[in-house]
Structure 1
Amino acid sequence: MAESATAAPAKHTRTSAVTAWESLFRAQVAVMRTLAAEFPTRDISFNEYDVLFNLSRQPDRRLRLRDLNKHVLLTQPSVSRLVDRLVAQGLVAKCPEPSDARGAVIQLTDKGFEMFRRVAVEHTRTISERVGTKLSPEELETLARLCDKLRDGA
């Protein structure tokens, strides 16, 4: 009898976890599609902006390529090709990693930082309209806290 009593809560937790995941995933996809469709420039892509954004948050605006791969939602070969396009545009520089000759360090150039800042102003406005107007300030804080908790536990 004790086994069935513990099995029910485990099944309920599993069902709740799957339902919550599906809701989170579908919300993320819907919001990302909207933000991509309303992205404020054609000068860079949404994914290129993501790279500039992540570099802008790093000390000296630089990051090892392998660490950059952990921050963006693309596969490693896709990130490498995207970085090469950004290098060709002069938005980032790619340098050999001093401690590992096989690696590379990606650094945001001044031109890239200016591009990021210009696009970020409009993109932030879109995010605020699409996300900030749908949830209360308390809900936004709760959402951020829960997402951070999920990410930290992954």
Structure 2
Amino acid sequence: MSGSARLALEAWESLFRAQVVISRRFAEDGERAGCSPREYDVLYTLSKAPHGLRMTEIHQQMMLTQSGVSRLVARLQEQGLIERRPDPDDARAQRIALTAAGREMQREVGRLHARQVIRAMAGALEPGQLRALRDLCTDLVAANDAERPPSGKESGKEKEEKD
């Protein structure tokens, strides 16, 4: 294994471990205002989409199965935090959007979450390190999103490897 390959694996392991350790710390602080981290993830995702999102768009932004997202959305709808609206671009589809109660819950939990993140990140890293981490992660996302084919389609490279 080349030095750069080994370094890539070590960097991935470090990044993954940091995320796990920090997530566990958040979990130890308990559910945020009666909202699980996954429920908050849906609320946060929807807070960035004033006109709502289709289920497929929510699914693409979360690390859950389609059925897992469907169950979360159903639970949040039962709680009155989100609602289904007709999709103006497709009469067959629906958009999922925050209700007023959902926006308030997202803000309340968001404030608690922000304090947790600041304590975990700023307590461990200096401002220059935080900027470098932000920039590196942004570059990783951009590079890998650019290489990812549209949902359900293979890239040219994947097709070549099969042939």
Q: For this structure pair, what is the TM-score category when the shorter chain's length is used for normalisation?
A: 0.7 to 0.9
Q: Secondary structure at the match of 1:62?
A: coil
Q: 2:121 aligns with which of 131, 136, 139?
A: 131
Question: Which of the pair has more CA radius of gyration?
Answer: 1
Which residue identity does 1:57 align to in structure 2? K
* Per-residue deviation, 1:96: 4.1
Is 1:90 aligned to 2:80, yes or no?
A: yes
Within the alignment, does 1:32 sit opposite 2:40 as a pair?
A: no
1:76 maps to 66
Verify the 8 A CA contact 2:35 2:109 in the aligned structure 1: no
1:23-60, Cα deviation, whole Å (9 max, x unpaired): 111111111111122245352111000110111112x2
Aligned position for 2:52: 62
1:20 to 7, 11, 17: 11
CA RMSD of aligned residues (A): 1.7
Would you say the 8 A contact 1:90–1:111 is kept in 2? yes
Q: Deviations over 1:80-118 (max 9, x none)?
A: 100000000000002343444554311011100001111
Asked if the contact 2:33–2:109 (Cα under 8 Å) also holds between the matched residues in 1, the reply is: no
Q: Which residue of 2 aligns with 1:6?
A: none
Counterpart of 1:78 in 2: which secondary structure?
helix
- Structure in which a larger fraction of residues adopt helix: 1
Distance (Å, rounded) in 1 between the aligned partners of 2:127 and 2:30: 24
Aligned length in residues: 144
Query: Which consecutive unaligned segments of at least 5 residues does structure 1 have?
Result: 1-9
Is it true that 1:114 corresponds to 2:108 in the alignment? no
Aligned-pair identity in percent equals 40
Shift of 1:68: 0.9
| CA distance, structure 2, for counterparts of residue 34 and residue 102 of structure 1 | 42
TM-score with structure 2 length normalisation? Answer: 0.81
Task: State whether residues 65 and 103 of structure 1, in contact with CA within 8 Å, keep that contact through their aligned partners in structure 2.
Answer: no
In structure 1, give the amino acid aligned to 2:73.
V
| Ranges in structure 2 where 5+ consecutive residues have no aligned partner | 145-163
Give the CA deviation at 1:61.
5.0
